Amino acid sequence: MENLTNSGSSGRLIIVAYRLPFKLVRENDQVRLFQNSGGLVSAVLSLVKDTRMPKFNTSEKIQWVGFSENTREELEGQSLANEEFQAHPVFIPEEVNENYYEGFCNNLIWPLCHYFPSLARFNDEYFEAYQTANRLFFEKLDEILEPDDTIWVQDYQLMLLPGMIREKYPSNKIGFFFHIPFPSYELFRMLPVRWRKALVDGILGADVVGFHTNDYVEYFLKAARLVSEYGNKLHYINMSNRIVKVDSFPISIDFEKFNAAFDEPEVMQARNDARQSLKEKVIFSVDRLDYSKGIIHRLKGYQRFLERYPEWHEKVSFVMVVVPSRDTIEQYQQMKSDIDQTVGKINADFGNIYWQPIIYQYRSMPYHELVGMYTASDVALITPVRDGMNLVCKEYVASRKDRKGVLILSEMAGAAAELGEAIIINPLDSQDIADAIKQAFEMPVEEQTKRMDAMRERIKDYDVFAWTNDFFTQMTMLEQEHDRLRQV
């Protein structure tokens, strides 16, 4: 890795996210670190590896503040760093974390932002715990922050944090990125007035606030106008003594990694194995267990396809992978059992001893198997009823080095704004899904390639490295914008 240590004028990069960049596992009095391979971790790494980027002080590791699942005692005296990251664990008492993470974050903000207001639970203890937990993140940050450091706060678990930092550190650069949909005002206004205002003001402690799509940006600007009466000029909010830039930065993936994976021996093996054991047409889907992902609607769409187009019976395998998530929550357990039943019914009604219409796994899969399935599939069926972005569809497209395959994508995914060459469907409309599957199966290879090429080009141009680059370029440019706007 090129050593980008510069003159020392720039400070360190500090990421604050609910999750740390690695899992800490205790083994015989030692704590071992297993780095996550998630999108955010590689995106952040690109910031120091990419020579086009604004330079941080890379003589120091990237500092990462995040919640620790281990207790303070368990981590006492342990080194919490690997080659790239220095972790700063935040300890949150269990009862606070329950009301904060399970409560405010996942029982209120998540359903509200994904347009499930009926699942939202409004509870004063939740908000108190949210404030307490954000304060604990701030206190940890406060222990390590230096004047030139740039802080990048991630997601809906930490909306109050930018405001807390700004209050004590008026001069540090702060970025904030929201990974889920920001809802329309009619949803947002369901929050009690004091909560709404605290959240908007908290977010606006940042210099640059990022969302995946222009719609989310518009909704947030409207919330800022109506909740806190902040006026905006296009994407700039004037906060009397400073300006906040609110813009869209559609998160992306490491295109080259997925593209190159096509030729990796393990992936090729997985692809061949899948092809051999499955029918002539293969549909694939993978997502975390969540009501926002539209899994039941997807199954209903596939059921309709089998009812209406019997000529495809015995010729199609739908491989559906659901990754366990939040399954200690009753609602998620109920959803899991609905999925199990629906899969069972479809297989029983349509299948026979030679053919199983759905091959279903409730378990995550290793990376090479995932890409093996992406590249073995004729169709990726991605039908969230709401999704901030959705990275699975981008990974599917990037891994299709053979330029074949058809993406069926919900119009409710943020990614639909960028991937117009997919077959775009309404996930609530079973007939729409059924017809899209038929259309995909009948699509000539030349057309598949034409659509794939256009989507691949776009993701290649705006990969995850471009995403981080874009965000931090905006952070750097904001100083100049400050000067310019003051003169307007």
Binding residues vs ligand GDG (CB under 6 A): 39, 179-180, 251, 286, 288, 321, 323, 364-365, 367, 370, 387-392, 395
- 137 burial type by CB count under 10 A (0-12 exposed, 13-18 middle, 19+ buried): buried
For residue 260, what are its two tokens?
């190159």
SS3 of residue 174 by DSSP: strand
Task: Tell me how far, at minimum, the Cβ of 136 lies from ligand GDG, in Å.
Answer: 23
Residue among 18 and 350 whose Cβ is closer to ligand GDG: 18
Give the dihedral of Cα atoms 418, 421, 426, 427; nearest 10 deg: -80
Task: Tell me how far, at minimum, the Cβ of 369 lies from ligand GDG, in Å.
Answer: 8
Contact call for residues 197 and 189 (beta carbons, < 8 A): no
- Residue 160 CA to residue 206 CA, distance in Å, equals 10
Task: Tell me how far, at minimum, the Cβ of 380 lies from ligand GDG, in Å.
Answer: 11
Residue among 155 and 435 whose Cβ is closer to ligand GDG: 155
Task: Tell me how far, at minimum, the Cβ of 51 lies from ligand GDG, in Å.
Answer: 25
- Closest by CA position to 471, among listed 43, 1, 39, 155: 43
CA 60, 39, 399, 322 torsion-angle sign: positive
Q: Report the b/e string of 438-465 with b at 16+ CB within 10 A.
A: eebbebeeeebbebbeebbebbeebbbb
Residue among 208 and 434 whose Cβ is closer to ligand GDG: 208
Task: Tell me how far, at minimum, the Cβ of 23 lies from ligand GDG, in Å.
Answer: 14
Task: Tell me how far, at minimum, the Cβ of 470 lies from ligand GDG, in Å.
Answer: 14
Task: Tell me how far, at minimum, the Cβ of 219 lies from ligand GDG, in Å.
Answer: 15
Residue among 254 and 435 whose Cβ is closer to ligand GDG: 254
SS3 assignment for 372-426:
HHHHHCCEEEECCCCECCCCHHHHHHHHCCCCCCEEEEECCEHHHHCCCCCEEEC
Residue among 295 and 391 whose Cβ is closer to ligand GDG: 391
Task: Tell me how far, at minimum, the Cβ of 105 lies from ligand GDG, in Å.
Answer: 13
How crowded is residue 348: how many other Cβ atoms within 10 Å of its Cβ? 9
Task: Tell me how far, at minimum, the Cβ of 343 lies from ligand GDG, in Å.
Answer: 17
Amino acid at 124: D
H-only helix segments in 204-281: 214-228, 255-261, 265-277
Residue among 390 and 430 whose Cβ is closer to ligand GDG: 390
Residue among 236 and 284 whose Cβ is closer to ligand GDG: 284
Task: Tell me how far, at minimum, the Cβ of 360 lies from ligand GDG, in Å.
Answer: 13
Residue among 380 and 443 whose Cβ is closer to ligand GDG: 380
Q: Please report, for the chain, how many H helices and E strands are present, in that order.
A: 18, 17
Residue among 93 and 324 whose Cβ is closer to ligand GDG: 324
- Residue 108 CA to residue 121 CA, distance in Å, equals 5
Give the dihedral of Cα atoms 6, 7, 11, 13; nearest 10 deg: 0
Length of the chain: 488
Task: Tell me how far, at minimum, the Cβ of 38 lies from ligand GDG, in Å.
Answer: 7
Task: Tell me how far, at minimum, the Cβ of 288 lies from ligand GDG, in Å.
Answer: 5
Residue among 312 and 367 whose Cβ is closer to ligand GDG: 367
- Closest by CA position to 395, among listed 15, 78, 42, 11: 42
How far does Cα 279 stand from its chain's mean position?
32
Residue among 200 and 398 whose Cβ is closer to ligand GDG: 398
SS3 of residue 322 by DSSP: strand
Residue among 343 and 389 whose Cβ is closer to ligand GDG: 389
- 390 burial type by CB count under 10 A (0-12 exposed, 13-18 middle, 19+ buried): buried
CA dist 223 to 51, 159, 187, 417, Å? 37, 14, 10, 22
For residue 285, what are its two tokens?
């889907």
Residue among 164 and 464 whose Cβ is closer to ligand GDG: 464
Task: Tell me how far, at minimum, the Cβ of 263 lies from ligand GDG, in Å.
Answer: 18
